[in-house]
Structure 1
Amino acid sequence: MPTNLAEKRTAARGAGRTARGGAGPRVSFEFFPPKTDKAGASLEEAIRGLAPLAPQFMTVTYGAGGSTQSVTRQWVDRVAELGGTPVGHHLTCVGATRAEIDALARSLWNDGIRHIVALRGDPPQGTTRYEPHPDGYAFAADLVEGLRRVADFEISVGAYPEVHPEAASAAADMDNLKRKLDAGATRAITQYFFDVETFLRFRDRAHAAGITKEIVPGIIPVTNIESLIRFSEACGATVPRWLTDLFDGLQEDPETRQMIAASVAIEQCTRLQAEGADSFHFYTLNRANVTRAVCHALGVRASADKVAA
């Protein structure tokens, strides 16, 4: 048995290389519900572009306070139809009673949806502080427990290599992650990050805390650095100076931005693979080209049956 963090990292590297028999890593893709018909058409194009890569699953996000509930459900069904792959429905604690969430979960199960991404959720628009519903699930660990009582779902939860912005401390954030996994979650998927060492240190601390379930790195291929900076300020992710410098002066050059985005993500994933990471969850931003290029470089190629279909 490995006795220290360095030995554990070495063991993880070996496990990652052997588990897939030399094939590319497992991948999964996240989409968000579109707001217009044009955006919907673009999303369908992205789904068709990524489905041939035979992902482990795809997921569709859920708006603050359940604001996209019906649209999320619509697109979960559409992704399943177009992609022919398992689809995860995001679900949050915000703005609903336990009975309402349980009823939705039973409906999802009865319609063949077996995977839920269980999150606490962000405060509804117009508010800045999360307040649990008085009759709802207070936090994600409670939601996981509730879902386990409804049905035998596959459940993914969130993890934060740079610490959740509302956590009291890194230790408290890790304790919360362990509670979610101990409550019955299948895996954790991380918030995106750009410093590989940040993820590795986080994974080391998770192992030291007794977490043994899979922690999947979340990867975001960056094509719009300005939007990324704005979003990252809200979610607590660090955008390093070297990354912003790479995009300097490319505001009117989308093709070059895409090439740089692919290059950064490929390097990031390759380094993570070398450290034993064997799964990647891509925040696609409802676009296929860059994510597909990254997957290709990692050895994830279109399956013959998907291409034929």
Structure 2
Amino acid sequence: MDVSELFKNKTVFSIEIFPPKTALGREKLMTSLLEIRDIQPDFISITQSAAACFNEQRTLAIAQAIQQKLGIATIAHVPCLYRTKEEVKDYLTDLEAAGVQNILALRGDAGNQQICPRDFTYASDLINFINRNGHFDISAAAYPQKHPESSDVVSDTLHLKEKVQAGAKHLITQMVFDNQDYWEFKERLALADIHVPVEVGILPCTNSRQIKRITKMSGIKLPKKIPGHHRALRRRSRRHA
């Protein structure tokens, strides 16, 4: 099933999971997903960090189990920053063999310890490559508050348009804490003549340390109304008093 087709008929709801590193973790994940199945998510995306080039088999195994045992479509994340073209091509072959036809094509975040092959500079390069080397429904990432490496929202929107022109049929946003950021983002998409389905990324605020780490890494601004933001401001004020 091409997940981009789902948006033509309904409001789409999906969840994102991280592939566990151990057999016990995978067993616990599948037990949890059996319960989640009752809320009928339209698809489940399986994340993968750019630096984790060697956990692809775990992602494949989980994707197959979800599709075969739960009957739910999956999206496999494919970051390209640390991969050569041959490595990506081999992985695409494995995905097709596993029956995974949906991909979230990402550049990925740069780490500090690894040297990048630089076969792919941007996610749009990867999307072009996937279109030439397989038959996949391709999704892409979007940043409503702009990517942290973009100079401004205009250039960020133009880069996003390059992804769509390369073949991305569906966008999944980075997390959004303020609805106004999303609506302004949608206005920019309309002005840039980008008309593919957009799915909003939502992360429940259950772990303040996790929220701080992700927002710092992603360059996301926390609204002042979020309690953790106020506590951080108070601590900062005391340090400079």
Q: Same fold (TM over 0.5)?
A: yes
- The answer on whether the counterparts of 1:159 and 1:188 sit within 8 Å (CA) in structure 2 is yes
Q: Mapping of 1:224-303 within 5 angstroms?
A: 224-244=207-227
Q: How many residues align?
A: 224
**Structure 1 partner of 2:234:** none
Q: What's the offset of the Cα at 1:79?
A: 2.2
Matches of 1:37 and 1:176 in 2, distance apart? Answer: 39
Q: What's the offset of the Cα at 1:179?
A: 0.4
- The answer on whether the counterparts of 1:63 and 1:69 sit within 8 Å (CA) in structure 2 is no
Please tell me the residue identity of whatever aligns with 1:243. I
Q: Which moved more, 1:198-207 or 1:41-50?
A: 41-50
**Structure 2 partner of 1:163:** 146
**Structure 2 partner of 1:206:** 189
Residue 196 (str. 1) matches residue 161 (str. 2): no
**Structure 1 partner of 2:38:** 52
- The answer on whether the counterparts of 1:64 and 1:123 sit within 8 Å (CA) in structure 2 is yes
Residue 34 (str. 1) matches residue 17 (str. 2): no
- The answer on whether the counterparts of 1:225 and 1:244 sit within 8 Å (CA) in structure 2 is no
**Structure 2 partner of 1:13:** none
Q: What's the offset of the Cα at 1:97?
A: 1.1
**Structure 2 partner of 1:176:** 159
The structure showing larger relative contact order (alpha-carbon pairs under 8 Å, at least 6 residues apart) is: 1
Please tell me the residue identity of whatever aligns with 1:28. S
| Aligned partner (choices 78, 89, 98) of residue 91 of structure 1 | 78
Matches of 2:226 and 2:25 in 1, distance apart? Answer: 27
- The answer on whether the counterparts of 2:224 and 2:230 sit within 8 Å (CA) in structure 1 is no
- The answer on whether the counterparts of 2:176 and 2:201 sit within 8 Å (CA) in structure 1 is yes
**Structure 2 partner of 1:111:** 98
**Structure 2 partner of 1:72:** 59
Query: What are the Cα deviations for residues 80-110 of structure 1, in whole angstroms up to 9, with x where unaligned?
Result: 2332111111101122211220121122113
Q: What's the offset of the Cα at 1:38?
A: 4.7
Please tell me the residue identity of whatever aligns with 1:186. K
Matches of 1:34 and 1:202 in 2, distance apart? Answer: 33
Matches of 2:80 and 2:106 in 1, distance apart? Answer: 7
Matches of 2:100 and 2:225 in 1, distance apart? Answer: 41
Taking a change above 3 Å as real, the CA distance of residues 125 and 246 of structure 1, as seen in their structure-2 partners, is closer
Taking a change above 3 Å as real, the CA distance of residues 97 and 245 of structure 1, as seen in their structure-2 partners, is closer
Matches of 2:76 and 2:206 in 1, distance apart? Answer: 26
Q: TM-score, normalised by structure 1?
A: 0.67
Taking a change above 3 Å as real, the CA distance of residues 82 and 224 of structure 1, as seen in their structure-2 partners, is farther
Q: What's the offset of the Cα at 1:42?
A: 3.4
Q: What's the offset of the Cα at 1:231?
A: 1.7
Percent same amino acid at aligned positions?
A: 28
Taking a change above 3 Å as real, the CA distance of residues 93 and 205 of structure 1, as seen in their structure-2 partners, is same
- The answer on whether the counterparts of 1:44 and 1:82 sit within 8 Å (CA) in structure 2 is no
Please tell me the residue identity of whatever aligns with 2:81. V
User: Secondary structure at 1:242's aligned position in 2?
Assistant: coil
